[in-house]
Amino acid sequence: MPIQKSETLPLRSDQEVVLARQAVRRVAQECKFSLVDQTKIVTAASELARNTVIYGGGGEMVCEVVLEGPRTGLRLIFSDQGPGIPDLAQALTDGWTSGNGLGLGLSGAKRLVNDFDIVTAPGAGTRITIARWR
Amino acid sequence: MSSTHALGSLLHDNQEPLLADWLKHIDEAGLSGLSRQEDVRRQAAELLRLLTDAAGRDHGGALAADSGALQGFLRDFSDARVREGFSSQQTATFVFALKRPVFQRIQALHGNDAATQAALIGSASDLLDSLGLKTIDAYQKSREAVIQRQQEELLELSTPVVKLWDGVLALPIIGTLDSARTQVMMESLLDRIASSESEIAIIDITGVPTVDTLVAQHLIKTVTAIRLMGADCIISGVRPQIAQTIVHLGVDLGSVTTKANLADALALAMKRLGAVVSRRAG
Amino acid sequence: MAEHIPILRMGDFLLVSIQVEMHDNLALALQDDLTRAIERTGARGVLIDITALDMVDSFIGRVIGDTSSMSRLLDAQTVLVGMRPAVAITLVELGMSMTGVRTALTVERGMQMLREGLSEARDDADTEI
């Protein structure tokens, strides 16, 4: 699957979460996603970027434009070397919260995208890949 | 000098006669299309120039994949052909029609040198085949884009939002609802609410034969979104079958206001907006 | 990046118009500033205008919801104004219905609602005749 474009952004502060959002918005517009689809992927990015900063102790987001036949996809990979998510099933259940609000973030983001993949383990960091296709 | 380079030189040195021959073949095959003679000439000349460049850069016959100029040209070229109703075959033949002129020119220049002739014809063949395939690819992409656009327009046309009164919009739905259609409807209704600043939206499902869980959920999402924007929603035309389905499915329509028909919904809307309708006496 | 979102006073009401990209701390600062301002001015209503926001995620949504609840405890009504269609669709998909937050289409309507001292809450608990 050819990657047409790729950029990496650091996620260490809430300012960088905003910069990441803006980057995703920009790329989504370039890919000519509809306004609603743009908003969905930007919002999902915001949720996951925030999680990376708050729970992952900081990390990065890779933003890629992927081509698969006639389809164009916007793929985002959020990774950190944090403590990992101990109970993934619970974290993906709506409304579960651990104080600062890891509630709808993960499960909500999942609903906003077409592809969602998460690799995490206690002590092994977290890597979440999401994508929206056009 | 490699044969591709040699081919490049040959193409470069013989642009005019090759172009003339090519245009003749195109014309004979009836491939000019609705374009004017000058436009066909211009397109062929441009393509020949791009081809000459590609050959000159020597990629062993395979055209440079990242040649932006070539991609751009093929995209515009195939867009035009799709619009004019040409088939992918006809479009590719436009390109292949260049083969004979090129082969004939090679023969004319190297008639006595079988080896050179063979090498050049080989390179020319590879180059033009590759170009032909790329053209078909571009054509297919153009075609798909047109079909997609038509589908979107059709979808939009089948979900009209109407203004019933100042501040009251209605979305009468006719036919079966599927996920894609419901989403498009939802978006266009919300957009109209925003642009017209209408406080009440009536979704009329009198013309909807059946409702499944997914559609019911979509309707509820639409109502919630309308509320978040600051407007209100009434669902009208709920018929017995649909009422039964919704209850059996266990879907909670909870606080969504429903009315049996559009007239009742409109009456309620007017009342909420503080409008009074009275009949003149006599 | 802006440090604080300005809060305007209009008679008995406070008006906040969010024009910039909200990072989390800015949202929390706004919540703090608003509650203090309600106390300081004795405002009876707060209007939060999000016409300019092209995205609201679960955190920002929660901050707005919490602000509304806090204001109510301080005897002020809150109205959220101008949510864009794409934002509304996304928030619903995200799973946030923002129960208990009153909403209005425009600033004018929002002000009218505050003035009428709204008795009906524009939320899920509302039942119609």
CA distance A98 to A109: 17
Beta strands in chain C (DSSP E): 7-10, 13-17, 45-49, 77-81, 102-104
In CATH, what number is assigned to the domain containing residue C97? 3.30.750.24
Number of domains in chain C: 1
**Which of A41, A46, A53, A116 best tests the C interface by mutation, with the highest count of C CBs <10 A?**
A46
Closest to B229 (Cα-Cα) out of C52, C57, C81 = C81
Residue C128 has pLDDT above 60, yes or no: no
Residue C69 has pLDDT above 90, yes or no: yes
**Which of C49, C89, C99 best tests the B interface by mutation, with the highest count of B CBs <10 A?**
C89
The predicted-structure confidence for B127-169, as pLDDT tens digits, reads as follows 888 888 888 888 898 888 888 888 877 776 666 899 999 999 9
- On whether residue C128 sits in a domain, the answer given is no
Mean of all residue pLDDT scores within chain A: 89
Q: Which domain holds residue C65?
A: 7-115
List B259's β-bridge partners, or say none.
B236
Chains near A with 3+ CB pairs less than 8 A apart are B, C
- On whether residue C19 sits in a domain, the answer given is yes
What's residue B61's pLDDT? 46
A105–C58 CB contact, under 8 Å: yes
What's residue C73's pLDDT? 95
| Set of chain B residues whose Cβ sits within 8 Å of the Cβ of C92 | 221, 224-225, 228
State the architecture of A3-133 in CATH terms: 2-Layer Sandwich (3.30)
C21–A105 CB contact, under 8 Å: no
Highest mean pLDDT: which of B13-17, B99-103, C97-101? B99-103
- On whether residue C123 sits in a domain, the answer given is no
A42–C55 CB contact, under 8 Å: yes
CA distance C13 to C17: 13
C103–B227 CB contact, under 8 Å: yes
What's residue A89's pLDDT? 82
Residue B17 has pLDDT above 90, yes or no: no
B199–C110 CB contact, under 8 Å: no
- On whether residue C58 sits in a domain, the answer given is yes
The predicted-structure confidence for A111-128, as pLDDT tens digits, reads as follows 999 999 999 988 889 999
Task: Round the CA-based radius of gyration of chain C to a whole number and report it.
Answer: 14
Closest to A70 (Cα-Cα) out of B193, C63, B148, C47 = B148
User: Which tokens in the block code for residue B279?
Assistant: 């009949």
What's residue C109's pLDDT? 94
A35–C86 CB contact, under 8 Å: yes
The predicted-structure confidence for A76-103, as pLDDT tens digits, reads as follows 999 999 998 888 887 787 654 433 334 5
What's residue B86's pLDDT? 83
Residue in chain C lying closest to A43 (CA): C57
Instruction: Judge contact between A120 and A92, C-beta under 8 A.
Output: no
| Set of chain B residues whose Cβ sits within 8 Å of the Cβ of A36 | 187
CA distance B143 to B73: 16
**ipTM entry:** 0.88
| SS3 state at B238 | coil
Residue B252 has pLDDT above 80, yes or no: no
Mean pLDDT across B103-118: 88
Percent of chain C scored above 70 by pLDDT?
A: 89
* Domains, in order of start, for chain B: 3-155 (1.10.490.70), 162-273 (3.30.750.24)
Flag whether the pTM goes above 0.90: no
Instruction: Judge contact between C88 and A100, C-beta under 8 A.
Output: no
